[in-house]
Amino acid sequence: MNLNRRAMLTGTGAALAVLAARPLWATSEVMLGNTRILSLSDGHLTLPRDFIFAPMPQEELAPILTQYGLGDGPLTPPCNITLMQSEDRVVLFDAGSGLSFQDTAGKLPDALDSVGLSPEDVTHVVFTHGHPDHLWGVLDDFDEPLFANAEHMMGKAEWEYWLNPNTVNEIESARTTMAVGAKRRLEVLEDAITLFEDGQEILPGVAAHATFGHTPGHMSFELRSGSEAVFVTGDAIGNHHVAFARPDWHSGSDQDKPTAAATRVRLMDKLASEQIPIIGFHLPSGGLGHVERKDDAYRFVPRDS
Question: Tell me, what's the pLDDT at 294?
Answer: 82
170 domain residue, yes or no: no
CATH number for the domain that contains residue 65: 3.60.15.10
94 domain residue, yes or no: yes
22 domain residue, yes or no: yes
| Residue-number span of the structural domain to which 286 is assigned | 2-155+190-302
Q: How many CB atoms lie within 10 A of CB 144?
A: 9
85 domain residue, yes or no: yes
Q: How many CB atoms lie within 10 A of CB 67?
A: 11
d(CA 152, CA 126): 6
DSSP-derived pairing of the beta strands 151-155 and 78-86: unpaired
Residues of the chain predicted below pLDDT 50: 1-24
- Number of structural domains (the chain) is 1
178 domain residue, yes or no: no
Sign of CA dihedral 103, 52, 135, 107: positive
Question: Tell me, what's the pLDDT at 27?
Answer: 66
The one-letter amino acid at 183? K
pLDDT digits (tens, 9 = 90+) for 51-108: 999 999 999 999 999 999 998 999 999 999 999 999 899 999 999 999 999 999 999 9
102 domain residue, yes or no: yes
d(CA 115, CA 117): 6
Residue from 279, 236, 204, 300 nearest 30 by CA: 279
168 domain residue, yes or no: no
180 domain residue, yes or no: no
| Phi, psi (deg, nearest 5) at residue 38 | -120, 145
What is the pTM (predicted TM-score) of this model? 0.91
d(CA 26, CA 71): 24
HSE, CB side, 13 Å, CA atoms: give it for residue 68: 18
